[in-house]
Structure 1
Amino acid sequence: MESRIDSDEVSRPSVQPQTLALGQEAEVRRLIERTATALRDMAGEFEHLGDSLGRTPPPPQPDVASYTLEYLTEPEKIAEALSDAAAVAVTEILSTHPGPVPPDAELAAELKRTRHARARDVVVRSVYGECYFKSPNGAKHLRSLTGLGVQVRLLGSVPLRLIVSDGLTMFSGPEDDGLAVLRPELITRAARRVLEYWWVTATPLDDLVDRLRESPTPQEQAILRLMSAGVRDEVIAREIGVSIRTLRRTLAAVMDKLGAENRFQAGIKAVARGWL
């Protein structure tokens, strides 16, 4: 018998479209689940980040003092730091130098740094220990500095090396080979006050030179003392070990310093100036 196919059966939809629809829905659901999982993970990361930020200290405010500190011991690093400090100076460099007088190479390096700063019209004021003035190399160095326009003053004792250049502070002890480099505004202001105090109490180099030029030498002081005591020229010359001619020439120079017209005036003015 020949089988017949019902027309309704032919028009009935096949199973495959229904299967594809279910697969697509499952895939969409899996995509939604993956997306939800990713969003939850992102939310957790943001929450963790927020907690971390809450535990992190806030950045320093502008009015909170902060600073950096370096302590240099290698000569090359110290020379580089000193050169950088002079190179970045804009307005003024203040410094103290306790001594002893450093070697010629260091003095030459200081002159070079100072020359570059002065070429930019940076004001340079320095207080040196009097040991510089008493040393031939030190005195020559001070003359070279003044020739560059540096304002130099002298103190009998300078306790430490101190340099203030704009917002930078550098210092070391008198017997310390290292150099501390700080960049705090607060300490810079304090160091500047200390330097200004030493500057006011120090003696200008020119004034000291004039004073020493006018003061009597030990030989001249001995002549004045013996002359005021009424000792004769021949005895004075023998006492100090010079000839009569040298004695009288030296006495004339002392009278010229005092502005005295005769020996009597010389004795009075020497007492008044504290030379006797």
Structure 2
Amino acid sequence: MSLRIAVLQPDIEWAAPERNLARFEPHVAACGADLLLLPEMFATGFCLDPARIAEPADGPVLATLRRWAADYGCALAGSVAVSAQGVFRNRMYFVEPSGRVSFYDKHHLFTPGGEAAAFRAGSRRTVVSYGGMRFLLAVCYDLRFPVWLRCRDDYDAILCCASWPASRREAWCTLLRARAIENQCFVAAANRIGSDPAARYAGDSVLLDFRGRMLAEAGAEECLIRAGFDPSAVGAFRKEFPAWRDADDFEMRIP
């Protein structure tokens, strides 16, 4: 049975979480999905002044995600700037209708743009089991690092939330397909549109299957896209074409 996956591709008002959340809620209510993916820092935009926008680890944006999940019966995922244990994190939440919350702290911070100077990197991958599927959580720049995202038959789909600039849109589209193909997994990727003080964004959010084929794609407008992810289909494909068994073994050392 397929899991209904939706991706919201919005414009984001700069550093205005209450207005953004109010504008997004009708899309959440109407998504008709089992899981809805939102972009990176969806409540504020990709702001590198975390003292201005970060909330506590159990702050109002997470509370809103909890309420949406309970009210509309779908899981939600996306990243938020948080302040936890005295440091700032770019934290991707996965919130289930039951109230269960999982999170992933972005590991690859975008050093060229100053993110590594403003936030503390996470040190562990997060795989969430939900609806009969295993989801690896990833945030934006992580997409460029295939070793970090390498599947060892431990997940079925990648959820990637991003604020990926239009100037590098070819890399975005290419890397998403590459990660799907090399890991034989579904990919859901949520990017934003519009602009902020640092960049312009072209969208190009997608839902891909485990062969890298397009299931649904967005253009450069605010929209919601949907597709079904079938866990039995990805399992059958890996059994039929078990390329993952021939992958090079490695051990990851995290500083």
TM-score normalised according to structure 2 size: 0.29
* Structure with greater contact order relative to length (CA < 8 Å, sep ≥ 6): 2
Higher strand proportion: 2
TM-score normalised according to structure 1 size: 0.28
